[in-house]
Structure 1
Amino acid sequence: MEWSLAIIAAGVLGVASISRPLSGSLVTPTLAFMAFGLLVGGEVLGLIELSSGNSTVRSLAEAALTLVLFTDAARIDLRALREGGGVPLRLLGVGLPLTIAAGTLAAVVCFGELTLGEALIVAVILAPTDAALGQAVVTSPLIPTRLRQGLNVESGLNDGICVPLLFAAVAAADLESHISGGRGAGTLLLEEIGYGVLGGLVAGFLVAMVVIHAGRRGLIDAAWRQLIPAAGAALAYGIAVALDGSGFIASFVAGLVFRGLVKEDPAAIDELTEQVGDALGGVTFLLFGAILLGPAIAASSWVLLLYALLSLTVVRMAPVALAMLGSGARAPTVALLGWFGPRGLASIVFALIVVEESHLPHQDLIVTAVYLTVGLSVVLHGVSATPLVRRYGAWLQANPLGSRRGPEETSASLTRVRGRSAPGSAEAP
């Protein structure tokens, strides 16, 4: 532990020093953090001496995810979302359940030693997506707004939805676990979602009122104004968790409410919150590489790698294709939506919850499969994002939608998206 903090700080400085050339390149900052962590971790140089049971990674990941969800939601154009709400509804209402079912089936086939309940746990952990790992997709003006909004909303809500599903699955598979607090699966699901939404509504409203009314009277210093969204995200999370709800759903809903009530450019208010969330996420992936991914790679086998590949391809892409039937989306668009379902912070958090809160007989196999899948996702989705966005943009320009309506329409605008400005006029041609 003596040198761990210094090594982590050196890693952050190193990535920060080359952050501009990394932007838009095949090597994303997340990939750079993870690779550095893998290098300095116990399986290679052994410079970071934290154990996999250390709660630091979980705390960092939860904090980062909370902030990212709030800022992502605050950047969503609610008018555009109402106009093109079919994409997230299809991805969440049809795609998510089918993804969990397909992931469970794949786990049963690949890992014969797992019980059905344990296979379901693997599938639920790997069902949430992390839009930040495919940042080029949700920020590029080459991608129609409705597709970007759809992926962003899906990413913001599916991890919160999966929290009660995970708790219920663990409670069913491990009778000794107290993770569900004695609640039935239905009650658990309703309370996690209901109290999560309630916490988000309350926190989002309160934060918006502070910005609007205190700001109108000139009571808020400019520097402190940037801290308000972070406090709002924490407030939403805290209220929901205190009520036994999902803090992640609360954070996302709070961001949506905040954006709906505060009409000004969210970048003027929440840029610091976004930057802090990104920084915490980077450190999380550094520690993930150092503490969790290294041992997972050492314990990997062809079966584990096969499951990771299936999880990122067939298990995700086939349900998305079924979910988009009848939407008017053409094959390249469906393929884009299906491929860009990266696994990231939420899956790491869920795996650590399983490690800390349960005593499953095949727990090591479960988390190894999860960590390998997340690591592979960081590499494949990070490397492929920019080239595929450019290729899709060129295809869309050569094959315009014409008079037909569908998710590829480009009339809606996005005020601002993660990491950069996106003027409403800079839409896909």
Structure 2
Amino acid sequence: MGIELDWVVLAILVAFIVYSLLTNAVDRSLITLPIIFMCLGFLVSDPLNAAAPPEVLNEGKRLLAEITLVLVLFSDASRVQFSKLRQDWALPFRMLLIGLPLSIGIGTIVTLLVNPAGGIAMALLTAAVLSPTDAALGLPVVASPEVPERLRETINVESGLNDGLVLPFVVLGATLAAAGGSVAQTDGLALSALSQIVLGPLAGISVGWLVAKGMDFAQSRDLTAEAAEGVVFLATAFAAYVAAQVIGGNGFIAAFVAGMVFGNTYRNDIRFVHEFMEGAGQLLTMSAFLVFGALLLPDGLAHVTPRAMLIAVLFLTVVRMGSIWLSLTGSGLPSREKLFLGWFGPRGLASILFTLVVMDEFDIPGEAELLSCVSMTVALSILAHGLSATPLASRIGRSGQSGDAGKTD
């Protein structure tokens, strides 16, 4: 058994190396990182499950989910600079504060209509888990100079903040679903969920502000080596998580808030956070999509139903695109750009990690249905958004140039 597992692990590590060596070549193709590692995970699913005990796999995927989610939440939030956002805040503001609640609300209604037996609590949880977007799936769009800067920045800000903003809805939905969906049965669970949502941000604010001020103080006196900056990032993200757990708050919400406070309090260049996530962070991302393909997707396919497939398609189209279209009404954007922003709301890392954590922390009656819906939505999104990113980026660039030329004439 040990030898078989060693061979599987070796094959995975070789795939990591080969991908890293061919990164630029992959970026020029239609194939994306999530597509590659989802497919690789699916290919090694059987040998991996045969070689490793179930308890080891379960513990490993939970640990990976927690570590990756904490770092992603902190890193994404730290990138959003309020000073820059004030210059062009209208589109992200509309999509986050109008489009995101609409997506959760419409998604809850759609899920309840398609699967009324699941109940409103499971419908809310499903909608919350499937609402955050992942810019990594549409990286050719975010990185393409052909796409107008305002659209790229809007997608960046939205994907950076919506996973943290949706967390309270995930906690509430999971709490109600675990309690049977009845408020009368929750007893102290509702209060516990409320305390997590309130105390989590308090821990995040405290840790983020104190470390940012401490780092400014140390660097102004040349006390900090440049190599230690990455350690500060890691320690701060996990300190916020643990501090929240200690006082009864939600650690993931704390990590998100800590990142936002740290990024906007720290006076020096925060590039060390981004550099870490581009290196070690990418390894975590590759691992997360591999785990999805190996451990979640096969289970999702095993329990797939026509209802789950319909919910997946509706979330990627009607729910997402309809919510964004409504939120951008009156913004002055042309229809093609509204549709573009609506389409590029791919589901990926956050939905995967939320599902792993929720399934581990809560005893949810409709767990198989939830896993099936999330797996199908993420798998379809990885393929559809990954393959359409480059062509649509070029098309929206040409459309923008044509529009500008028309205005000039």
- TM-score under structure 1 normalisation? 0.83
- Report the Cα offset of residue 313 of structure 1: 0.9
Which region of structure 1 is more displaced relative to structure 2, 320-329 or 86-95?
A: 86-95
1:100-179 aligned within 5 A = 100-175=104-179
Q: Is the 8 A contact 1:41 1:49 kept in 2?
A: no
Matched residue, 1:258: 262
Kindly indicate whether residue 242 of structure 2 is the aligned counterpart of residue 249 of structure 1: no
Matched residue, 1:427: none
CA gap 1:105/1:270 in 2 versus in 1, 3 angstroms: closer
- Report the Cα offset of residue 284 of structure 1: 1.2
CA gap 1:239/1:213 in 2 versus in 1, 3 angstroms: same
CA distance in 2, matches of 1:168, 1:45: 34
Deviation string 1:256-297 (CA, Å, 9 cap, x unpaired) is 333333344432564124422221121011111011102322
Q: Is the 8 A contact 2:303 2:369 kept in 1?
A: no
Structure 1 letter corresponding to 2:290:
L
Matched residue, 1:355: 359
- Report the Cα offset of residue 252 of structure 1: 3.2
1:384-403 aligned within 5 A = 384-400=388-404
CA gap 1:171/1:236 in 2 versus in 1, 3 angstroms: closer
Match of 2:212 among 204, 208, 227: 208
Structure 2 spans left out of the alignment, 5+ residues: none
Match of 1:226 among 225, 230, 239: 230
Q: Is the 8 A contact 1:67 1:274 kept in 2?
A: no
Q: Is the 8 A contact 1:63 1:277 kept in 2?
A: no
Structure 2 letter corresponding to 1:182:
G
CA gap 1:29/1:50 in 2 versus in 1, 3 angstroms: farther
Kindly indicate whether residue 264 of structure 2 is the aligned counterpart of residue 295 of structure 1: no
- 1:220 is paired with a residue of what secondary structure? coil
1:81-96 aligned within 5 A = 81-96=85-100
Match of 1:25 among 29, 37, 41: 29
Matched residue, 1:74: 78
Structure 1 letter corresponding to 2:295:
I
- Report the Cα offset of residue 95 of structure 1: 1.3
CA gap 1:244/1:150 in 2 versus in 1, 3 angstroms: farther
Structure 1 letter corresponding to 2:37:
F
Matched residue, 2:276: 272
CA distance in 2, matches of 1:162, 1:268: 27
Matched residue, 1:184: 190
Matched residue, 1:415: none
- Report the Cα offset of residue 370 of structure 1: 0.9
Kindly indicate whether residue 237 of structure 2 is the aligned counterpart of residue 236 of structure 1: no
Identity of aligned residues (%): 39
- Report the Cα offset of residue 50 of structure 1: 5.7
CA distance in 2, matches of 1:246, 1:328: 38
Matched residue, 2:320: 316
Deviation string 1:128-161 (CA, Å, 9 cap, x unpaired) is 2222222233333444444334333333333233
Q: Is the 8 A contact 2:122 2:177 kept in 1?
A: yes
Q: Is the 8 A contact 1:64 1:278 kept in 2?
A: no
Structure 2 letter corresponding to 1:38:
F
CA distance in 2, matches of 1:162, 1:375: 21
CA distance in 2, matches of 1:400, 1:106: 39
CA distance in 1, matches of 2:255, 2:174: 24
Matched residue, 1:60: 64
Matched residue, 1:38: 42
Matched residue, 2:329: 325
Kindly indicate whether residue 373 of structure 2 is the aligned counterpart of residue 383 of structure 1: no
CA gap 1:401/1:27 in 2 versus in 1, 3 angstroms: same
CA-based RMSD = 2.9
Structure 2 letter corresponding to 1:153:
V
Matched residue, 1:337: 341
- Report the Cα offset of residue 38 of structure 1: 0.6
Structure 1 letter corresponding to 2:166:
C
CA gap 1:132/1:401 in 2 versus in 1, 3 angstroms: farther
- Report the Cα offset of residue 46 of structure 1: 5.9
- Report the Cα offset of residue 39 of structure 1: 0.8
Matched residue, 1:372: 376
- Report the Cα offset of residue 164 of structure 1: 2.6
CA gap 1:244/1:337 in 2 versus in 1, 3 angstroms: farther
CA distance in 1, matches of 2:152, 2:73: 15
Structure 1 letter corresponding to 2:298:
G
Structure 2 letter corresponding to 1:256:
M
Structure 1 spans left out of the alignment, 5+ residues: 404-429
Structure 1 letter corresponding to 2:337:
T
Give the total of aligned pairs: 399
CA distance in 2, matches of 1:77, 1:266: 11
- Report the Cα offset of residue 315 of structure 1: 1.0
Q: Is the 8 A contact 2:130 2:374 kept in 1?
A: yes
Q: Is the 8 A contact 2:74 2:259 kept in 1?
A: yes
Q: Is the 8 A contact 2:175 2:193 kept in 1?
A: no
- Report the Cα offset of residue 321 of structure 1: 0.6
- Report the Cα offset of residue 364 of structure 1: 0.8
Deviation string 1:307-338 (CA, Å, 9 cap, x unpaired) is 21111111111011111111222212211211
- TM-score under structure 2 normalisation? 0.86
CA distance in 2, matches of 1:180, 1:281: 35
CA distance in 1, matches of 2:187, 2:263: 34
Q: Is the 8 A contact 2:229 2:272 kept in 1?
A: no
- Report the Cα offset of residue 350 of structure 1: 2.4
Kindly indicate whether residue 1 of structure 2 is the aligned counterpart of residue 15 of structure 1: no
